[in-house]
Amino acid sequence: MGRFQRIRKLFRDNFFSGLLVVVPVVVTIYVLAKLLHWLYRKLVFLPLDNERIAAWLSTFIPDWGIMSATRLVHVIEFIAVLIIIAFATALVGLFTKIRFTRWILAVGERVLARIPLVGVIYSGLKQFLEAIFSGKGNFSKVVMVQFPMEGIWSVGFITREADPSIAKLTGAEKLYNIFVPTTPNVTTGFLVMARPDQFIELDISVDQAFKFIISGGMVLPDEDDVTEPGRASIIDRIKGAAAN
């Protein structure tokens, strides 16, 4: 290999290594900036007296312009509103632990559930958020299931045991509902019902599985992150499943 080819290979390898670092950071910052800009336009609503603010700030910072003063107050207001919303949301969560409040919420949810379309959207969104943030029951187990056809394995999440009447129709003793997300948009996917012998439980966390799916399989769970010592890694289990 000539010197030019070695330099080109070195540049290419380093370029793609840097790309794997730069692109996620830039995209994350861009998405957060867009989200914060949208929130800023929605939340900043306080009418401001620019001249009075500029005059007050000029006592601390010489030559402070009206536009700079206005932007500073907008930023302070924006941060204050975000903090208020965060504390208000936490306060709502605190009230939900009170028995009377839970009863009111349960009645309200039953009313919403009876409204066409609204009930479907509300219950579906609530269950999805519970699966993502609570970590209780839903999305608690990561599995491999043969989907969309036999011999092709997909990573999914067990959401719950299927209704026994559905399992009875298929002649199975038990069926489990498995959500198979799409790549890279994990908010959409497919619902698969499978017997326990038709899927393999993986020893990786939900977060690791999401990273694996979003990256299109390029980000693999580390061997050190396997939850139980002695259990096979995701690659070893895929190989074992393929062999069987």
Answer whether 0.75 is exceeded by the pTM: no
* Number of domains within the chain: 3
What's the pLDDT tens digit per position in 230-243? 445 555 655 555 55
- Same domain? For 87 and 160 the reply is no
Q: Average pLDDT for residues 95-104, to the nearest whole number?
A: 80
Domain of residue 21, residue span = 3-43
Q: Average pLDDT for residues 90-101, to the nearest whole number?
A: 80
At 223, the pLDDT band (50, 70, 90 cuts) reads very low
Q: Average pLDDT for residues 146-160, to the nearest whole number?
A: 89
- Same domain? For 34 and 59 the reply is no
- Same domain? For 148 and 238 the reply is yes
- Same domain? For 34 and 56 the reply is no
At 150, the pLDDT band (50, 70, 90 cuts) reads confident
Tell whether the model's pLDDT for residue 189 goes beyond 50.
yes
| 36 within domain boundaries | yes
What's the pLDDT tens digit per position in 163-172? 888 888 888 8
Tell whether the model's pLDDT for residue 175 goes beyond 70.
yes
Least confident of 32-46, 99-113, 168-182, 204-218: 32-46
Tell whether the model's pLDDT for residue 135 goes beyond 60.
no
More confident call, 103 vs 131: 103
At 143, the pLDDT band (50, 70, 90 cuts) reads very high
pLDDT of residue 131: 61
- Closest Cα to residue 221, out of 202, 239, 194? 202
| 129 within domain boundaries | no
pLDDT of residue 151: 85
- Same domain? For 29 and 73 the reply is no
- Closest Cα to residue 208, out of 193, 197, 194, 224? 224
